[in-house]
Amino acid sequence: MRTQVCIIGAGPSGLLLSQILHLAGVDCIVLERRSPEYVLSRIRAGLLERITVDMLRAARAADRLDREGLVHDGVEFAFGGRRLRIDFKALVDAHVTVYGQTEVTRDLMDARRKLGGVPVYEAEDVSIHDFERGVPVVRYRKDGTTHEIACDFVTGCDGYHGVSRESVPAQALKTFEREYPFGWMGVLSETKPVSHELIYANHPRGFALCSMRSQTRSRYYVQCPLTDTVEDWSDNRFWDELRRRLPDDAAQSLITGKSIEKSIAPLRSFVVEPIRFGRLFLVGDAAHIVPPTGAKGLNLAASDVHYLSCALIEHYHDRSDGGLERYSATALERVWKAERFSWWMTNLMHRFGEGPDEEFRRQMQQAELEYIAGSVAAQTSLAENYVGLPV
């Protein structure tokens, strides 16, 4: 089998890249080790920057997003019993859109199906060969039969635990990582959101976040120890703890209900450099992880897809490799800025423990939040980063 680009992973970044390349006349094949049902069962973030929305529109996968996505012109920060609204529209004339990552994936699946580009699902034992020099070859097993794909380029969109980064010799990678000493206990419920915009809460008991997936489906989080399990958190315990961490007016208007999904997510900052190795390119979580506090994970994957798709189209249409040569440096420049913002947000909003410097950290958080509340310049910087830096 022969193709121009072999894409490993059929999450949103792999599907988006394949759709953009297909529309530009670049041949590609997508391999996914899981079933479509499994891919759609993964509950992920749901806040999209403008560039991500624009890319989905260009990929002909945004009809439902444009109908059902919730446009947010601001976000709230709760601290010290008060609520501070950051007005994106007034500060930077921009907005974000709330639309679940599962729905993004579903829409991209439908868009690929319409164009006859269904990925190869349940592709087992995927391996990547000869990507540093020569013609890359990707092998996989499907229904007991081994297949081989010769290609010009391989793109690894297969996440943190995927085969793509693992195929790179360890000595070729430089890894930067920070693991945080807490997690997020998340609950999805068929309840009306407590607010029409997100609320980030800094509280002595720990961080909390009020988010949503639609006008009738809410997503809430509370900071918890890494030693906790989902079984430790009954619905009643979760709702009681969330109320404690919210301002009184929000706590009183909170509508509770039976959870339809629960999970605990650890927080990590992670980057590898470079993210190009000969004819293998890493995209999204295969190359970098951000803590979810800044809502950057999916959006960073989309910006990687932007840079790489432009470079591949330039290669095939203009016979120029300039974009491919610059891909790693260009993508990583934006990645590190998003890592910085996510790290800053995480340090601003969470409790880190009971160590000797924790009281100092809390005073610094309070001072920073008060500074933001009183400074248009600080609010503008926050808004500029939150809605997404330009590509």
- The number of CA neighbours under 13 Å toward the Cβ of 57 is 10
Active site residue 200: yes
Select which of 296, 306, 315, 350 is catalytic. Answer: 296
Select which of 99, 140, 200, 221 is catalytic. Answer: 200
Active site residue 315: no
Active site residue 296: yes
Select which of 72, 288, 315, 350 is catalytic. Answer: 72
What is the residue whose two structure tokens read 């319409």? 114
What is the residue whose two structure tokens read 């709760």? 78
Active site residue 292: yes
Active site residue 72: yes
Select which of 292, 307, 327, 350 is catalytic. Answer: 292
Q: What is the 3 state secondary structure string of the chain?
A: CECCEEEECCCHHHHHHHHHHHHCCCCEEEECCCCHHHHHHCCCCCEECHHHHHHHHHCCCCHHHHHHCEEECEEEEEECCEEEEEEHHHHHCCCEEECCHHHHHHHHHHHHHHCCCCCECCCEEEEEECCCCCCCEEEEEECCEEEEEECCEEEECCCCCCHHHHCCCHHHCEEEEEEEEEEEEEEEECCCCCCCCCEEEECCCCCEEEEECCCCCEEEEEEECCCCCHHHCCHHHHHHHHHHHCCHHHHHHCCCCCEEEEEEEEEEEEEEECCEECCEEECHHHCEECCHHHCCHHHHHHHHHHHHHHHHHHHHHHCCCHHHHHHHHHHHHHHHHHHHHHHHHHHHHCCCCCCCCHHHHHHHHHHHHHHHHHCHHHHHHHHHHHHCCCC
d(CA 7, CA 68): 29
Measured CA distances, 351 to 10, 223, 260, 365 (Å) = 36, 8, 27, 10
Residue whose C-alpha is closest to residue 13's, from 123, 160, 177, 182 = 160
Active centre residues (catalytic): 72, 200, 292, 296, 386
